[in-house]
Amino acid sequence: MNGAETLVKTLLASGVRVCFANPGTSEMHFVAALDRHPDMRCILCLFEGGVSGAADGFYRMSGEVSATLLHLAPGFGNAFANLHNARKAQSGVVNIMGDHADYHLRFEAPLKGDTVGISRTVSHWTRVCAEPGRVAGDAAEAVQAARGKNGQIATLILPANMAWDAAEGYAVAPPPPRLQRPSAEEIAAAARALRQPGAVLLVDGPVLWSDLGLLAKRLTKAAGARLMQPFFVSRFRRGAGAVKIERMAYRIEDNLNLMAGAPALVLCGTTRPAGFFAYPNLPSTPDDPDTRLIDLCTREMDIEWTLQALAAEIGEAELGPEDFMPPDHPALPEGPLTLASVGEAIAALMPDDSIVVDEGISASSHLAPGLKRARGHDALTITGGSIGFGLPNAVGAAVACPDRKVVVLEGDGSGMYTLQSLWTMAREGLDVTVVIFANRGYQILRDELAAVGVTEVGRNVVRMFDVVEPTLDWVALAKGHGVAGVRVTDMAGFNAAFAEAMGQRGPRLIEVVC
Amino acid sequence: MNGAETLVKTLLASGVRVCFANPGTSEMHFVAALDRHPDMRCILCLFEGGVSGAADGFYRMSGEVSATLLHLAPGFGNAFANLHNARKAQSGVVNIMGDHADYHLRFEAPLKGDTVGISRTVSHWTRVCAEPGRVAGDAAEAVQAARGKNGQIATLILPANMAWDAAEGYAVAPPPPRLQRPSAEEIAAAARALRQPGAVLLVDGPVLWSDLGLLAKRLTKAAGARLMQPFFVSRFRRGAGAVKIERMAYRIEDNLNLMAGAPALVLCGTTRPAGFFAYPNLPSTPDDPDTRLIDLCTREMDIEWTLQALAAEIGEAELGPEDFMPPDHPALPEGPLTLASVGEAIAALMPDDSIVVDEGISASSHLAPGLKRARGHDALTITGGSIGFGLPNAVGAAVACPDRKVVVLEGDGSGMYTLQSLWTMAREGLDVTVVIFANRGYQILRDELAAVGVTEVGRNVVRMFDVVEPTLDWVALAKGHGVAGVRVTDMAGFNAAFAEAMGQRGPRLIEVVC
C-alpha cells in the first residue's frame, strides 16, 4: 500500500464518489490506485477546463464535493478559468494536482512549474503533501476545507513520491467547522431596517432553490420588504411554482434604477453588488448612495440560521398564489425565428424539473422572458464571468442528476472555449441537450464596444469580433465529438428538433442560426 | 488620445507588428485603439491557449516578439499552459492582460481575480499600469523585457481606466541590457575539459538552427569532443544538410547510457539535463556521477560570444561532408501503414525548408528515423511538456514564415487541448498540414503506467486512458473549424493525402488511424 492508495481510500471514506479526471504521468500511481477502487467513478474529460467546470456543476446540483485529477502546473492552469467560476459559485471542489517527486524539483525538468503559486491564485486552501504517511490526513482536511464556509476550492498537491512511497490506513474528513452567525443586535437592526417601506433583502445561495426561499419570502412579506437576488448566481429556481424573487439585471444602469430609493439593503448570503465591469461616468455599485447597506450575513456564514432569526424577529406572512410564478405555459410559437420565440419554444417543451445551464450571453436576455414561463426548473449561471462554463457545468449537473433533463443555452463564441465537453457527454451517455446560438461572433463585445461610444468599426475590430470566414459548423463539431447534431434556421425546425431532443435520452446538439 | 492608444503606438514604434488576440470587455478601449491602427496585424484565436501558443511559435521562427491580448484573470489562466511552454522555449512574448478599472477592484465583481498572482506564476516580468501617462513607458519596458535574456515572458496588466483615461505620446523600447558572459578563466577551464576524450558540449538556443551550429561543430571537432543537444528544444535543424548534433533521448535510461563515462559535460545555452519525470529507483539527472559538470553559459547568457571565445581557445577544425546529415532521401514507402513508414513518407514528400511542429508524443519516436532523412527543415518541440502546444505553435510559425510549409505532427489526445487553432488556420489561410495520429487514447500514459509496473488494468484506467466510446472524428472536427480533412487507414491513402497537401497551399488535416 502506498500514499496514493491511502488518498483514494480517504476520499471514498469521506464520501467523495466521483473524480473528474484529466491525468498525466505525474499522477500515475494515483491512477493505479483509482483503478483498484472501481467504486470511485472516474470521468474522463479531454481538457482540464472540462474537469473543473464539471466539478462545479456537480456541486451546484448535488451539494456534494467531487475530486478533480489534474496534471501539474499547466494542467491546473487549464482548469483555472472554471475553478474561478466555481469559486464565485461557492462550489466545493477537491483538486488533486500531481507534481514531480519533491527531490526532482531542484532540477529544471520541462514540466516543473509554480504549482503552489497557481493553486493559490484561485484556491481557498492549498497544501503540498510532505510525507507519505500524512497523505490520508491531508486529503481528509482537503475534503473538510472544500465543504467548509458553504463551499470552497481546496487543492492538494501530491508529489509523485508521496504517491508511490509506502503508507498505510486512511482518514475520514471531519465535519467542517460551525458557520459564523450574526449577533442578536445585528439581527434586530436588520429586522428594523427591513420594515421600512421599500427596503430590500438581497439573498443568494440555497435560498434561491431550496425551502429557505419560502422562509425568505414569508419574512419579507411580513416586513413589507422586497426580496431580490443577484443576476449571476450558482443556481436559482425559475418557472412555474418558483418563489417570486426579483432578479437583478446585467447592466449597471438597470440595477441603478432597480435599487433607487431603497432605504436599506440587507445582504444575506451575498456581498455588496458591483457592476460586471466599470464604465466611464457610471458608478461601480448599483446601490443608491443614500441607501443604508447592512452586511448581515456573508456568503460564508450561516444563512439558514440568519433567516430563521430574522423570521423570529419579524414574523412570517402566509404565502398565496401571488407569491409564486404561475403555471403560465406558453404555446409553441410560430412565425419567424427570433430569440424570444426560441425562449418560448424551450419553455413550451422542456419537461418539469429540468436543469438549464445558461451561457447564452447576449442571447440569454432575449430568452429569459420565455423561460420564466417554463415548467419549474433550476437555472445555473456563469458566476465568475469566465466563458466556457456552460458545456462542462452541464456535464457535472447531468452526472449529479441522472434523471433530470439538462438543457445548455450556449453562445457559439463561448461554447468554443470548452467544446471538448461534448465528448464526455457522449462517453457517459448524459441526458444533455445543447442549444448553440450561432450569431457568428462575440455579440457581447459588439454591444460593449458600442457602450464605450465606438459605432464605426474597422478591419481589426471586425476580425476580432466576428467569427466568420469561415463560419463554425457546430453540427460537424458535435459529430466529431460523437454527439448527434442538427442545424435549424427557422422556427418550425427548432420546434421539431427541440421536441425530439426532449423526447429522447442522451446528448444532442441544436445549432440555431440567429 | 488615451492610454490604450499610447500603448498601441508604443508597440508599433518598438517593432511589434502582430497581436494574437482573444479580447474581452475589459480590453475594449485597447481593441478600439487597435482598430485605429490597421498596421498592427490582429489575429483572432477562439481560445487563449491558441493565443499564447501562437505567440510562442511566432517567436521561435521569427525571433520577434509579438503581443497577446488576453482577458483578465481567467483569460490569462487559459493562456497559462502555452505560456509555460513558451517560457521553457525562451520565447519572448508581451502579454497585454486587461483588468478592471483600478477603483472597481475593491468590489466583488464576477471577473475579479488575482491577475498579478497568476501572471507571476509564469511571467519573468509583470507590471500593473498605475497611471495613464505611464502606459507607454510601461509598454516599452515590457517589450524590452521580452527581448531580454534571450527571450522572456513579459506581462503588462492594463486596468480599464488606464486604457480609457487621456494620455499623449508613445515610447520606444530600448535595446535589452547586454547579456552576461563567462570569465576568461571559465572559458579556459571549459576548453581544457572539452579536450578530454569523450567530453560533451551540450548546446541549445540558436546553436541548433543558425550558423552558430557550424561554429560549435568546428570547435568540438577541433577538441575531439562530442556535440549534443537536449531532447526538447525550441527549434532545431534536422534532415539533409543539418549539422550533426547528437540528440538526447526522452527516457532517462537511454540518456544515462548516452552520458555514461563522459569526463566532462560543458553546458552552453542550457541547464543541467533532468529526467522528464522522476521514477522510483532511477536518478533525476542523466549525467554520470563521475562526470564534471561545467555550467559555463546559462540559457540567459551570451551564447554567441561564449562559443567564439571557446573557439579562440580551442581552434576550429574544418568541416567535411561527414559533419552534416546526408541527402539520404527515402523512397515513398509501400506496404502496411506503420508509424515508421509514415515518417518516411513525410520525409519523401515534404518540401525543402519546411517547419515541423512535433507534438506526436508517443508517435514521434517512431517517426523520427524517417524524418532525419527528410530535406532540411526546422523542428519545434514541446519544450515545457504541456500538451496542446502543436496546433497553436503552428499558427505562429506559419504567420512568421508565410512562404514555408508547416507540418504538424499531432497526437489525437494532445490535439484536443487546443483544437480551436484549426479555425485560425482557416481564417488566416495558413499553409499548415496537420497530421493527427489517432491511436484513440493517451498512449504515453499507457506506456508510463507500464513503466511503474502496472500491467493489468481495470475499468478506471481503461476509462481514463482510452479515448473510445465514442472515438473522435477528426475529419468532422476539422470541417467544423473550416478546415478540409481526410482520414486514412492505409499507406497508399496516406501517401496520396500527404502528397496532395504538399502540392497545395492552405490548411488541411489528415487523420491517420494507427
Q: Enumerate the residues of chain A whose CB falls inside 8 A of the CB of residue B100.
A: 277-278
Contact at CB, A480 and B482, closer than 8 angstroms: no
CA distances from A47 to A20, A313, A400 (A): 11, 50, 20
Quick: pLDDT tens for A456-474: 889 999 999 999 999 999 9
φ, ψ at A309 (rounded to 5°): -65, -40
CA distances from B450 to A44, B444, B446, B455, B461 (A): 20, 10, 6, 6, 12
Contact at CB, B38 and A460, closer than 8 angstroms: yes
Q: Enumerate the residues of chain A whose CB falls inside 8 A of the CB of residue B56.
A: none
Quick: pLDDT tens for A86-123: 999 999 999 999 999 999 999 999 999 999 999 999 99
Domains, chain B, in order of start with CATH, read: 3-164 (3.40.50.970), 184-323 (3.40.50.1220), 339-513 (3.40.50.970)
Q: Supply the DSSP symbol for B360.
A: -
How confident is the model at residue B453, as a pLDDT? Answer: 80
Question: DSSP letters of A314-379?
Answer: H--PPP-GGGB----PPPPP-SS--HHHHHHHHHHHSPTTEEEEEE-GGGHHHHHHHHTTSSSEEE
Q: In this structure, are residues B68 and B96 in contact, taking their beta carbons and an 8 Å threshold? A: yes
3-state secondary structure B128-154: ECCCHHHHHHHHHHHHHHHHHHHCCEE
Q: Enumerate the residues of chain A whose CB falls inside 8 A of the CB of residue B101.
A: 277-278, 284
Contact at CB, B35 and A458, closer than 8 angstroms: yes
- Name the residue in chain A with its Cα closest to that of B162: A280
Average pLDDT over residues A250-257: 96
C-alpha cell at A125: 486552501
- Name the residue in chain B with its Cα closest to that of A442: B24
What is the Cα–Cα distance from A475 to A431, expressed in whole angstroms?
Answer: 18
How confident is the model at residue A34, as a pLDDT? Answer: 95
Q: In this structure, are residues B171 and B10 in contact, taking their beta carbons and an 8 Å threshold? A: yes
What is the Cα–Cα distance from A66 to B249, expressed in whole angstroms?
Answer: 39
Q: Which of B44, B385, B388 sits opposite A464 (nearest CB)?
A: B44
Residue in the block written with cell 458566476:
A383
Min CA distance, B276 vs chain A (Å)?
5
| Chain B contact present for A249, CB below 8 A | no
**Residue B181 class from Cβ within 10 Å (0-12 exposed, 13-18 middle, 19+ buried)?**
middle
Min CA distance, B295 vs chain A (Å)?
13
Q: Is A111 helix (H, G, I), strand (E, B) or coil?
A: coil
Min CA distance, B112 vs chain A (Å)?
8
Q: Which of A46, A84, A108 sits opposite B74 (nearest CB)?
A: A84
Min CA distance, A162 vs chain B (Å)?
11
For residue A125, give the H/E element and its range.
strand A125-128
Contact at CB, B275 and A109, closer than 8 angstroms: yes
User: A125 falls in which pLDDT band (50, 70, 90)?
Assistant: very high
What is the Cα–Cα distance from A194 to A224, expressed in whole angstroms?
Answer: 8
The one-digit pLDDT tens for each residue of chain B (514 residues) are: 999 999 999 999 999 999 999 988 888 999 999 999 999 999 999 999 999 999 999 999 999 999 999 999 999 999 999 999 999 999 999 999 999 999 999 999 999 999 999 999 999 999 999 999 999 999 999 999 999 999 999 999 999 999 999 999 999 999 999 999 999 999 999 999 999 999 999 999 999 999 999 999 999 999 999 999 999 999 999 999 999 999 999 999 999 999 999 999 999 999 999 999 999 999 999 999 999 999 999 999 999 999 999 999 999 999 999 999 998 889 999 999 999 999 999 999 999 999 999 999 999 999 999 999 999 999 999 999 999 999 999 999 999 999 999 999 999 999 999 999 999 999 999 999 999 999 999 988 988 888 878 888 899 999 999 999 999 999 999 999 999 999 999 999 999 999 999 999 999 999 999 9
Interface probe, candidates A121, A161, A383, A472, chain B, greatest B C-beta count within 10 A: A121
3-state secondary structure B56-76: HHHHHHHCCCEEEEECCCHHH
Nearest of B142, B125, B146, B267 to residue B205 by alpha carbon = B267
How confident is the model at residue A482, as a pLDDT? Answer: 98
Peptide bond between residue B206 and the one before it cis (omega within 30 degrees of 0): no
Min CA distance, A428 vs chain B (Å)?
9
Residue in the block written with cell 547510457:
B257
Residue A328 has pLDDT above 90, yes or no: no
Interface probe, candidates B69, B71, B80, chain A, greatest A C-beta count within 10 A: B80
Q: Enumerate the residues of chain A whose CB falls inside 8 A of the CB of residue B81.
A: 74-75, 77-78
Query: Which residues numbered 309-368 in A keep a CB inside 8 Å of some CB on B?
Result: none
Query: Which residues numbered 448-507 in B keep a CB inside 8 Å of some CB on A?
Result: 448-449, 451-452, 454, 457-461, 463-464, 467, 469-482
Q: In this structure, are residues A190 and A223 in contact, taking their beta carbons and an 8 Å threshold? A: no
User: A8 falls in which pLDDT band (50, 70, 90)?
Assistant: very high
For residue A213, give the H/E element and its range.
helix A212-223
Average pLDDT over residues A47-60: 98
**Residue A225 class from Cβ within 10 Å (0-12 exposed, 13-18 middle, 19+ buried)?**
buried
Mean pLDDT of chain A: 97
Q: Which of B280, B473, B482 sits opposite A470 (nearest CB)?
A: B482
What is the Cα–Cα distance from B333 to B212, expressed in whole angstroms?
Answer: 35
What is the Cα–Cα distance from B506 to B54, expressed in whole angstroms?
Answer: 17
Considering the entire predicted model, what is its pTM? Answer: 0.98
What is the Cα–Cα distance from A194 to A260, expressed in whole angstroms?
Answer: 16
How confident is the model at residue A454, as a pLDDT? Answer: 82
E runs forming strands in A222-345:
226-229, 236-238, 246-247, 264-268, 292-297
Q: What is the CA radius of gyration of chain B?
A: 24
Residue A25 has pLDDT above 90, yes or no: no
Size of interface A-B (CB pairs under 8 A): 335
Q: Enumerate the residues of chain A whose CB falls inside 8 A of the CB of residue B429.
A: none
- Rounded to the nearest 10 degrees, the angle between the axes of helix B28-35 and helix A443-451 is 90
Contact at CB, B272 and A108, closer than 8 angstroms: yes
User: A452 falls in which pLDDT band (50, 70, 90)?
Assistant: confident
Q: Enumerate the residues of chain A whose CB falls inside 8 A of the CB of residue B88.
A: 110
Min CA distance, A322 vs chain B (Å)?
32
| Chain B contact present for A24, CB below 8 A | yes
Average pLDDT over residues A296-312: 98
Q: Enumerate the residues of chain B whose CB falls inside 8 A of the CB of residue A42.
A: 460, 463-464
E runs forming strands in B86-176:
93-99, 125-128, 153-159
Strand partners, A238: A377
How confident is the model at residue A186, as a pLDDT? Answer: 98
Q: Which of A84, A117, A444 sits opposite B113 (nearest CB)?
A: A84
Contact at CB, B460 and A121, closer than 8 angstroms: no
Residue in the block written with cell 571559465:
B186
User: A375 falls in which pLDDT band (50, 70, 90)?
Assistant: very high
Interface probe, candidates A8, A12, A35, chain B, greatest B C-beta count within 10 A: A35
Quick: pLDDT tens for A58-91: 999 999 999 999 999 999 999 999 999 999 999 9
Contact at CB, B388 and A164, closer than 8 angstroms: no
Q: Find all residues with CB under 8 Å of B285, minimum gap 6, and list them.
A: A107, B272, B273, B274, B275
- Rounded to the nearest 10 degrees, the angle between the axes of helix A212-223 and helix A303-314 is 30
Q: Enumerate the residues of chain B whose CB falls inside 8 A of the CB of residue A461.
A: 31-32, 34-35
3-state secondary structure B366-393: HHHHHHCCCCCEEEEECCCCCCCCHHHH
How confident is the model at residue A456, as a pLDDT? Answer: 85
Q: Which of B108, B277, B449 sits opposite A274 (nearest CB)?
A: B108
Contact at CB, A46 and B413, closer than 8 angstroms: yes
C-alpha cell at B508: 488541411
Min CA distance, A31 vs chain B (Å)?
7
Report the b/e string of A171-204 with b at 16+ CB within 10 A: bebeebeebebbeeebbebbbebbbeeebbbbbb
Q: In this structure, are residues B96 and B27 in contact, taking their beta carbons and an 8 Å threshold? A: yes
Report the b/e string of A80-119 with b at 16+ CB within 10 A: bbbbbbbbbbbbbbbbbbbbbbeebbebebbbbbbbbbbb
| Chain B contact present for A175, CB below 8 A | no
Signed CA dihedral, A70, A74, A78, A84: sign only: positive
| Chain A contact present for B102, CB below 8 A | no
- Name the residue in chain A with its Cα closest to that of B116: A121
| Chain A contact present for B105, CB below 8 A | no
How confident is the model at residue A336, as a pLDDT? Answer: 96
Q: Which of B25, B272, B451 sits opposite A445 (nearest CB)?
A: B25
What is the Cα–Cα distance from A73 to A127, expressed in whole angstroms?
Answer: 14
Q: Which of B23, B25, B476 sits opposite A277 (nearest CB)?
A: B25
How confident is the model at residue A148, as a pLDDT? Answer: 98
| Chain A contact present for B272, CB below 8 A | yes
CA distances from A316 to A189, A304, A307 (A): 17, 15, 11
How confident is the model at residue B454, as a pLDDT? Answer: 82
Interface probe, candidates A80, A165, A250, A389, chain B, greatest B C-beta count within 10 A: A80
| Chain B contact present for A280, CB below 8 A | yes
Q: Which of A84, A423, A470 sits opposite B472 (nearest CB)?
A: A423
**Farthest CA pair distance, chain A:** 69
Min CA distance, B27 vs chain A (Å)?
10
| Chain B contact present for A285, CB below 8 A | yes
What is the Cα–Cα distance from B356 to B376, expressed in whole angstroms?
Answer: 10
How confident is the model at residue B255, as a pLDDT? Answer: 97
Q: Find all residues with CB under 8 Å of B210, minimum gap 6, and list them.
A: none
Q: Which of B49, B109, B461 sits opposite A35 (nearest CB)?
A: B461
